Amino acid sequence: MSSQEELTIKVKNVIEQIRPFLQADGGDIAFVNITEDNTVNVELQGACGSCPYSRMTLKNGVEEAVIKAIPEIRAVEAI
């Protein structure tokens, strides 16, 4: 398994731990990919897709949790 595949598995695991909190508010998040510079791309779904606070949730919640768990990750972006 490549280091990129291992990183992907780790990121997906962290996202799975976060999903119930977003789902409780009618939203969801889906992993899309990891770029070559270790930026994680995600898709915000449901209520998160149109919520005015979704950017704050993404940066202060999701990104913070992912980087804390996996320091190699540079950023988390919604696409």
Q: Look up tokens 């990183």; give the residue.
A: 7
Amino acid letter for position 78:
A
pLDDT, position 35 = 96
Q: Note the CATH architecture for domain 3-78.
A: 2-Layer Sandwich (3.30)
Task: Kindly list the averaged pLDDT for each block of 10 residues, start to end, along the chain of length 79.
Answer: 92 96 93 96 90 86 95 95
- Locate the domains of the chain by residue range: 3-78
pLDDT of residue 6: 94
Question: Is 0.85 topped by the overall pTM?
Answer: yes
Q: Residue 46: left (phi > 0), alpha (psi -120 to 50), or beta?
A: left
